[in-house]
Each structure stands twice: as structure tokens, then as C-alpha cells.
Structure 1
Amino acid sequence: MARLPPFRIEQWMDEYQPTAKHDLGETCSASLSIDGLLALSENKDATASDILNSAAIQDYGEIRGTTALRNNLSRLYSTKVGTPLAPDNILITPGAIAANHLVFYALIKDGDHVICHWPTYQQLVTVPESLGAVVDKWHSKPHDNWLPDFEELKAMVKDNTKLIVLNNPQNPTGAVLPKSLLVKIIDFAESKGIILLSDEVYRPLFHGISPMDKDFPPSILSMGYNNTIATGSLSKAYALAGIRTGWIASRNKDVIEKCQLTRDYTTISVSKLDQAVASFALSPDTIHALLSRNIQLAKTNLELLDRFIVKHDEFCSYVKPVAGTTAFVKFERDGKPIDAVALCKAVHEKAGVLLLPGDLGFGDEFKGYVRFGYVNQTAIVKDGLEELRKFMRKEFDDLPVCE
């Protein structure tokens, strides 16, 4: 296993987030306290002590995840599908980042070929590379609403292609792979015996596409192919990043067993307290109000961002997100992309606004792009955009451009 390169996004956030006054870089829905979670729940008799069961012994607990939490996840993945997903086909992990790492470590070996939907979270490329795989990027097209070309995917597959990695909804663009495209991907992968991993950490935060839409994207586990894996967590769509609870779910029980064998060398189990909060959040009494709160935040705040971009359309452009918490905005001047690293450093120093430079986070092909996180508290987003507006008026013309 090769040494992993620096994780550029996480290093940027670690350096600049603590001192930001206006956080437009946060990719989680505005985080909740346990009291806030209780206030949303229909179970008005529940207390924090009930959730945490303060009398319970804090041992390792159920190694693969608590029965209550896996039952709740099973219910979510089994809605409107012909074959329910058994709780035993779910493995609880410390966040989706650990889930993805375990999948790669359990399945990928030196010499394998992996195809990764791009742009996406750096981990989904660098971890399989570190394990000796050759990773090719399946590029989304900004001129086509960030859709990738299915014919390009077919041409990329080799005899040793082991895994196709999807990110749906997509970080950083907020785009989705529509159902019609997913059907093609599933049929093709099945014909080749290729495993599909879908990082669904931003699911089900859909705010610009309706479940009634014919192209509304179902979970990868709902599409009839056994060799599919979904990873997720409570961080993004469920506003509970601090409890560090994620999961691996698969129709293929052998995949879960391989991941569990690998997991024995890492975390052993996940905190019982964290899982108790997660289980309460995903319970029928709570989940609907929780998602409604976060979807409404996304809709309200995205309109604020959209108005900002329209007002500055001589410098800014984007494909309006339909899901998730992030938008990928391109800044230009005189037809040339702005130096996004310089922009993000200057706006942090002079306006206290946190943003992420797209080329730093996702590669040189995204010069001029900046990732916004817009599902923080509305007041934070509103104030941050106002400070950014002032910065644009006074400082933008002095920023360097990329040649």
C-alpha cells in the first residue's frame, strides 16, 4: 500500500474554517443539537436520557451496529422496492469516509482497474490508487448540466475493471445521475460483472427534483443488481456530523462480510451513544421532520445564492444544484478564470468568508471554480453572501486570473 497524498480539501478546511466568521464552505446541513432533534420529533415524551440510555454500560456493544439502527436503515432502503434489504446487509461505520475506505480496502488489490465519476471527493480516487489500482476518471460535463457521457464509460471499461464508483448526488456540483442513466449503468455493469459503489452521503437531500419526476434517482440498491454497494452517513443530509455514524449497505452479503473482516483491524465497533442518536434521528417519529427541515433550508438558502450569482452574472456562473448541499461556481474576468486559491484566501482574510477553491479540491481542470456550501443556517449564508458582495465590489478587479 502506497502512502496516501495530502487530503487537500480537509487540509484547507482545517486551516481556514476555525477562523472564518461566515462559513460558506460547510458541506453539512446546519448541525443540530440533541435538544433540537428532540424538538423536531413527533415523540414528545422522549428525553435526552431516553436516547442515550445513561444507565447502559458503555462496552463495545453490537460489533456490526446496533439492531435498532440497522433496522431503521433497512426500512429506509426497503421502501418501494420488491425485495427488502435485510439488516444483516448493513454495516455501521464511523462516518461515510470510513465506509468508503473499508470498501476499497476490502475489495481492491494491486493491478485492479477502477473508474470514478468525477469531480468528486478526493478519497474516492486516492484510496484505490494507494492500494495499487489504476483509477480513470469518468468526467461530468459542465456544459451538459454536469452529466457524464455513458458511451465514454463503456469505452473506459477494461478486462480488469473491478469497480465503478459513483457519487449521487454529486459533490461538488449538486447534480444527480438521473434514473435513465442509472439504468444504463446498472445493465452495463451487470453484463460485465463489475461491482458498483455509490457514495450516497448527500442522499436523500433532493430539493430541485421531485420524487414524481420520471428521472428521480433511486438508491443504487433499489435497481435490481446484486453487486451494488451504497455508503452514507448522518453528516450531510441529516445534520448530525458530530456523531460520526455512517454505513455500508449492499445486496451482496459477501461484500459486507469482506468489509467486516477488514473492519476488525480498524474501529472494532462504533460508539453506542452515537448510534443511539442516529437511531432516534432515523426513526419514523423523527426522520420526516428532520429531512423536511433540511430540504427547506436548502431551498431557502439556494435562492439566496442564486440571487447573488444573477446579480454578479458578468463574473459568476453555475449549474443550479438540484440536490445535496454544495454548488460549484465559476468566477471569471475578461473571459479568463480567476485564480480561485487567491480569491478564497483574499475573501477569508478581508471578509471572513470561508469558501473552497475548486482547483485545489478537485484538480487543475477546475481553475476558476469555487465550491460553496449553502445549507448552513440561513443567517450565516445571508451574512456571508453580503460580505462576499462587498468584497466583489471592492476587491475582485485586483485578483489575478489564470492564463
Structure 2
Amino acid sequence: MVKIQPFEVEQWMDRLETTPGVLNLAETCAASVSLDDLIRMCEDKNSQNPLWLSAKLTYGAIRGSKTLRRRVAALYDRASDAEPLSSENVLISQGAIAANFLLLYTLVGPGDHVICVYPTYQQLYAVPESLGAEVSLWKLKEENAYIPDVTELEGLVKRNTKMIVINNPNNPTGSTIPPSVLLQIVSFAQQRDIIIFSDEVYSPLYHSLPSAQPAPPSILSLGYARSVSTGSMSKAFSLAGIRIGWIASRDRTIIEAVAAARDYTTISVSQLDDQVASFALSESVVGPLLKRNLGLAHQNLGLLEAFILRYKDHCEWVKPTAGTTALVRFKHRDGTPVDDPSFVLDLLDKTKVLVMPACPCFGLGKDFVGYVRFGYVCETEILIEGLRRLGKYIEEHLQ
């Protein structure tokens, strides 16, 4: 029997996010949109129906419709000088969580060694371990703005290292791996024939980078064929409800291996979901949708930053540069960290504001005691009210 650790962040979310009257500042998707919203955003007024109602609801295209795979491939071609990615190098899945699992299930097993950035989404290191692989954590440091130090790879790599796992932008820190660091990772892996797996589910929400730092390209744009990227419609594209994700790689043998493994699981995705995703990624919709979400992220991050400055005696962070999440440390006036699980539960009980405790959800042992993860790209009015209540809670219970 496969032994796998409880998926803490998902279990915390499942237990708490349906609390009556909750103000959810833990949600990691950019504020969700409806089909009506997508239609209003569409710049082509002759193309306003995201569903083909006359289509027979068969299994559909097993790997995802040609239209959707072509439009996902086009996402990887934006702001890149690399050769265009073929739609044949894309496989559609049930969200990025299924993409990640299927990729690891296909490529990793007993006798393999995996290096994974940490902190990150627990799935990325827990699943390889459950499959019998040895996992070494590549620990991101707060003093380095949570950017991985490539010199540390020499001390982590082993003879049997099969894969390096990165997450760009990072969940939960909101940090960005700069292009120069990505190139160093590629060089290191290429010299040793190691697969690079980049979870890019929060791309392309690069909304707060320093002016001198360009937005990083996808790992698929850096000239190393044994790179794999996953993404989804949930985070940057506000459509978690359609459960569409993907795996993309320039190495067709990886795509074919994953496609063969998937025959034992989900076969295909819903035709209805495929159609909505295709509409959302069409030229007339994807631009306005991303513009809306980038603007929302930038505006809301400014509100969160102002809050942390106001309560600087009790809050500290490394300001995120991308994505939708932020890692914030809460402390008492004497500097001792709060007990983050108790803090989160008491905050929810007294104010109906929900954030996620980092120690159980993203830490191993006592890592990240006192830290909580915010999802700040919700509707702005929800964030404003949530921060108002959180500020009152700090004044009454942490002072």
C-alpha cells in the first residue's frame, strides 16, 4: 500500500473555507470569473458563446482539443525567442494538481532521487516520496528573498538524481526565480541529464518585479529539451471551477509516456471544460483577462503592504513579486512568534477571516512557526474588510 502524508493545506482549506460568513484571504486563485464575465471581456463581439451547445458530449479529444492545446502552447511563446511550441507537446489534464501527480507518477519511482525547492506546494515533494523516491529539499532562504541558491545544488545532487523540481512563481512565498538563476539551473541539469520539472501554475502573474528585473520565461524557453512545465486555468486565469490544467514539454518522449500512463486514470477531460478554457485563452479574451488579474494583484498587494507597514511591530515579510500568495510572520510585541495554527483558528472564530497556518501546511518539523499564507488576489472589497478585521484583532489580542 502506498503511504502518503496528509495533504495539510488542502485539508485545512477543506475544513475551514466553507465556514458561514467567512472572508477568505486564504484562496490562492485570482478572483474567480463567470462565463458572463468572460463574454463581457471578449473583444471580438462576433464570438461570444464559450460553449458549442450542438456538440455531442462524447469523451472528446483524449489529449485535449486541438484548439485548446494550440492556445496553451501559445502561452509558452509569449515574450520568448524560442522556437514555437507545438500543440503536440501539450497534454490537457484535470487541473494542475492532476498534471503534477501524473507527471511524477510516470517519471519517478524507487531508486530515483529528486531535489525539490522548499517551501512549496506539498504535493511536489510528498508524491515522489510516496512513490519510493528519495527526496532532498532545496531550502529557500528568507534573507535571499526566497530565491534558490544554485551553488547548493552541488551538495544535494546524487548519482541517481532523476529530477529537479522548482515552482515559479513560488507558493507560498510569492517569490520569482530570475532568468539568470533559471539559466544556471538549466546548465546544472543539462550537464547531468537531469529532468527539470517547473510548476508554473501562477505564471504569468509577474506583477511586482523590481524595475530592472525582467519577467522570467517559462523553463521550456531556455533551450533544454528535458524540461517539463505544468500550469492550469485556476490561478492566473480565475477559472478553478472548470478543472483544466496541462503538462508541456519539448521532449515528446515525456509527453507520450505521461499520455500512456493517463490511460489508466482519467482518459480525457470534460468537453464543456475544454470549450470554456479554449474560449478564455482565445486572443480576444486572454489579453483582457490577464490585464484584469495583473491589475487586481498589483492593487491588492499594495493594500497588504500598507497593512504590514501599519502593523510592523507584529508583522514581517519578504514582499512577493508575483503570483497570488504571500508568507507573513506574525509576532507578539516582544518578538516571539505566534502559534500559527492557534492564531489562524482564533482569528477565524473571532473575525471570520481565514488565512492558512504555514507551519503545518508548508513546514516540516518546526519550520515556519508563526508564519501564515495569505491569498491576496481576491475581490478588493473582501481584502479591505478582511484586513480591517485582522487589524482590530491584532490591536485587541497581540498588543
Aligned residue identity for 1:41: C
Q: Distance in 1 between matches of 2:234 and 2:195?
A: 25
**Alignment partner, residue 247 of structure 2:** 248
Deviates more, 1:357-366 or 1:70-79: 70-79
Q: What is the alpha-carbon distance in structure 1 between the residues aligned to residue 124 and residue 28 of structure 2?
A: 17
Is the 8 Å Cα contact of residues 64 and 268 (structure 2) preserved in structure 1?
yes
CA distance in structure 2 between the aligned counterparts of 1:299 and 1:74, rounded to whole angstroms: 26
Percent of matched pairs sharing the same residue: 49
- Aligned ranges for residues 225-374 of structure 1 at < 5 Å? 225-333=224-332, 334-363=334-363, 364-374=366-376
CA deviation map 1:351-370 (0-9, x unaligned): 00000001011112100100
What is the 5 A alignment of 1:162-241?
162-209=162-209, 213-241=212-240
Task: Using structure 2 for the length normalisation, give the TM-score.
Answer: 0.97
2:158 maps to 158
Q: Is the 8 A contact 2:314 2:398 kept in 1?
A: no
In the alignment, what sits opposite 2:14? 14
Whole-Å Cα distance in 1 between the matches of residues 298 and 214 of structure 2?
20
**Root mean square deviation of aligned Cα:** 1.2
Name the structure 2 match of 1:43.
44
Q: Which amino acid aligns with 1:283?
A: S
Query: Aligned partners of 1:382, 1:45: CA distance in 2, in Å?
Result: 37
Distance 1:74 1:113 in 2: 30
Tell whether the 8 Å contact from 1:65 to 1:92 is kept in structure 2 after alignment: yes
Q: How far apart in 1 are the matches of 2:219 and 2:262? A: 23
SS at match of 2:247: strand
Distance 1:82 1:320 in 2: 31
Distance 1:216 1:232 in 2: 17
**Per-residue Cα deviation, 1:54-74 (whole angstroms, up to 9, x for no partner):** 111100000000010011112
How far apart, CA to CA, are the structure 2 residues paired with 1:171 and 1:2?
A: 26
- Does the 8 Å CA contact 2:206/2:215 hold for their aligned counterparts? no
Amino acid at match of 1:124: L
Contact 2:166/2:199, CA 8 A, preserved across alignment: yes
Tell me the equivalent position of 2:391: 389
What is the CA–CA distance in structure 1 between the aligned matches of 2:373 and 2:296, rounded to whole Å? 18
- 1:23 and 2:24 aligned: yes
Q: Deviations over 1:114-136 (max 9, x none)?
A: 00011000000110000000111
Q: Counterpart of 1:247 in 2: which secondary structure?
A: strand
Q: Deviation string for 1:228-248 (max 9, x for gaps)?
A: 000000000000000000000
Distance 1:349 1:378 in 2: 22
Provide the secondary structure at the position in 2 that maps to 1:197: strand
AA aligned opposite 2:314: F
The SS at the match of 2:83 is coil
TM-score, normalised with respect to structure 1 = 0.96
Q: Please give the per-residue CA displacement for 1:157-203, whole angstroms capped at 9, x wherever unaligned.
A: 00000000000000000001111111100011000000000000000
Taking the aligned partners of 2:3 and 2:348, their CA distance within structure 1 comes to 31
2:62 is the alignment partner of 1:63: yes
- Displacement of 1:42 in angstroms is 0.4
What amino acid maps onto 1:81 in structure 2?
D
Distance (Å, rounded) in 2 between the aligned partners of 1:3 and 1:39: 47
Equivalent pair of 1:24/1:373 in contact (CA under 8 Å): yes
Task: State how 1:101-140 maps to structure 2 within 5 Å.
Answer: 101-140=101-140
CA distance in 2, matches of 1:200, 1:235: 12
SS at match of 1:336: coil
Aligned partner letter, 2:248:
A
- Cα deviation 1:283-308 (Å, max 9, x = unaligned): 11111110000011101111111111
Counterpart of 1:229, as a letter, is: V
Q: For structure 2, list consecutive stretches of 5 or more residues without a partner in the other structure.
A: none
**Aligned-partner Cα distance in 2 for 1:141–1:302:** 21
Counterpart Cα distance in 1 of 2:74 and 2:92: 15
Structure 1 residues 18-27 or 59-68, which shifts more? 18-27
Match of 1:291, SS? helix
Determine if contact 1:78/1:85 at 8 Å carries over to the other structure.
yes
CA distance in 1, matches of 2:23, 2:213: 38
Supply the distance in 1 between the matched residues of 2:283 and 2:50 (Cα, whole angstroms). Answer: 15
Supply the distance in 2 between the matched residues of 1:82 and 1:101 (Cα, whole angstroms): 27
Q: Is the CA contact 2:82–2:222 (under 8 Å) kept in the aligned structure 1? A: no
- Give yes or no for contact 1:40–1:286 (8 Å, CA) kept in 2: yes
Task: Note the C-alpha offset of 1:216.
Answer: 2.6
**1:401 corresponds to which residue?**
none
Give the number of equivalent residue pairs: 394
Alignment check: 8 A CA contact 1:120 1:172 kept: yes
Moved over 6 A (4+): none
Deviation at 1:335, TM superposition (A): 2.2
1:23 Cα deviation from its structure 2 partner = 0.8
Task: Quote the Cα distance in structure 2 between the aligned partners of 1:355 and 1:136.
Answer: 28
Q: Would you say the 8 A contact 1:180–1:215 is kept in 2?
A: no
Where 1:285 maps in the other structure, the secondary structure is: helix
- 1:35-84 per-residue CA deviation (whole Å, 9 max, x = no partner) reads 0011111022333xx32111111000000000100111122212333311
Counterpart AA for 1:372: F
Secondary structure at the residue paired with 1:366? coil
Is there any run of 5+ residues in structure 1 with no aligned partner, and where?
A: 398-403
In 2, the alpha carbon distance for the partners of 1:150 and 1:336 equals 32
